[in-house]
Amino acid sequence: MVSHSPEHPTSISNTSLGKTGVLIVNLGTPDSYEVSDVRRYLRQFLMDGRVIDIPFIPRFLLVNGIIAPFRAPKSAKVYKQVWLPEGSPLKVYGIAVETMLQEALGNDYVVKLGMRYQNPSIEAGLEAFQKMGLTKIIVVPFFPQYASATTGSVYEEVMRVLTKWQVMPELRFVNQFLAHPKFLEGFVQNAQKYLQAHQYDHFIFSYHGLPERQIRKGDCTKEVCKLGSCCDTLHAMNQHCYRAQCFETTRLLVKALDIPEGQYTTCFQSRLGNDPWIKPYTEDIVKELPKKGAKTVLAFSPAFVADCLETTLEVGEEYKEVFEKEGGHHWDLVESLNDSPVWVEALVDLIVKA
């Protein structure tokens, strides 16, 4: 007969009986801003076939022979500029949200932070759940809009790990949350201090870009996606299109902020390589605004829930310099949700409903 004394492992596992594991996942970050760590991060990130979606051999040669060796030293200097005393912003905010979310959800849940690339890894988080005997897991990718290169890649990595398990858990994913009231409220709250201090001629909603070919690949009908006015509304046939979801995010924020029609632009940043990426390009829009009389701009980055290189530096500083060089007078960037209480409230609601 098996003993059920307090010392027996069965008693330990009973402490997690009925609990649900919650894996919150952001893109990832180097372990430090040293060149070697940045190079390691770039290799893992860019070797993902959902990020650079070309065959393995040319992808391997491109990433390991050209991009990682030459880009790592430059990227390391940039990472150093945004590095916080506690570490990388994505990781610092992620750990803070992990702690706040655990407290908000209570003892029926176990919350772990995972990064798609580097540390703490998705695999480490899932293995922690496995060791606790958890058989219910909810995965929340920190990407408001679905894209194959972000949310899709998280799905793939989670399944790569779980397919090794003898006992497969009950699994739920949060696919996207661009329309969640608390997500929208977070950006509206952050914008208020700027709106109270200044009057703006124009509002920029800048999202991370993707190659056009990736958007077309997501159109299973091969008839809906035209990379143009097809994104003017979000409907059943384009609901999984990243570009269409970005335009919908803008429309929802514009409505919540009561921004007049004609005073805002949706655009896309962070182009890489020579292939066409989704348009309009943020840099082109920024250059044209002063020529059209828009001298004061408030910018948003609603594809990111935590500030990072693409928000703080690219939108907050680099585009500001471009804007001022072209004759603009005032440029502000609305912060991401980071570790705000309203963001935690949004996550609690998403997880409970999942």
DSSP 16: G
Q: How far is CA 144 from CA 7, 33, 96, 186, 293, in A?
A: 45, 27, 19, 13, 32
Partners of 207 in the β-ladder: 268
* Fold topology of 181-333: Rossmann fold (3.40.50)
The CATH architecture annotation of domain 9-176+342-353 reads: 3-Layer(aba) Sandwich (3.40)
Q: Taking 80 as the threshold, does the pLDDT of residue 7 lie above it?
A: no
Average of per-residue pLDDT across 80-107:
96
9-176+342-353 and 181-333 have identical folds: yes
Average of per-residue pLDDT across 189-215:
96
> 48 exposed, middle or buried (CB, 10 Å; 0-12, 13-18, 19+)?
middle
Instruction: Please tell me the predicted confidence (pLDDT) of residue 185.
Output: 98
Residue 273 pLDDT grade (very low, low, confident, very high; cuts 50, 70, 90): confident
Instruction: Please tell me the predicted confidence (pLDDT) of residue 225.
Output: 86
Mention every residue, 6+ apart, whose C-beta is less than 8 A from residue 312. Answer: 82, 89, 333
Q: Taking 80 as the threshold, does the pLDDT of residue 177 lie above it?
A: yes
Q: Taking 80 as the threshold, does the pLDDT of residue 120 lie above it?
A: yes
Average of per-residue pLDDT across 148-161:
97
Q: Taking 70 as the threshold, does the pLDDT of residue 94 lie above it?
A: yes
Amino acid identity of 172?
R
Higher-scoring residue by pLDDT: 354, 345: 345
Domain layout of the chain by residue ranges: 9-176+342-353, 181-333
Partners of 203 in the β-ladder: 264, 298
User: Which tokens hold the place of 119?
Assistant: 């540390």
Q: Taking 90 as the threshold, does the pLDDT of residue 228 lie above it?
A: no
Average of per-residue pLDDT across 213-217:
92
Phi, psi angles (nearest 5°) of residue 269 = -115, 180
Residue 13 pLDDT grade (very low, low, confident, very high; cuts 50, 70, 90): very low
Average of per-residue pLDDT across 55-77:
96
pTM of this prediction? Answer: 0.92
Residue 157 pLDDT grade (very low, low, confident, very high; cuts 50, 70, 90): very high
Instruction: Please tell me the predicted confidence (pLDDT) of residue 326.
Output: 97
Instruction: Please tell me the predicted confidence (pLDDT) of residue 15.
Output: 64
| Residue entry with tokens 């980055």 | 301
> 199 exposed, middle or buried (CB, 10 Å; 0-12, 13-18, 19+)?
exposed
Q: Taking 60 as the threshold, does the pLDDT of residue 219 lie above it?
A: yes
Taking only the tens place, the pLDDT of each residue in 310-336 is 999 999 999 999 999 999 999 999 999
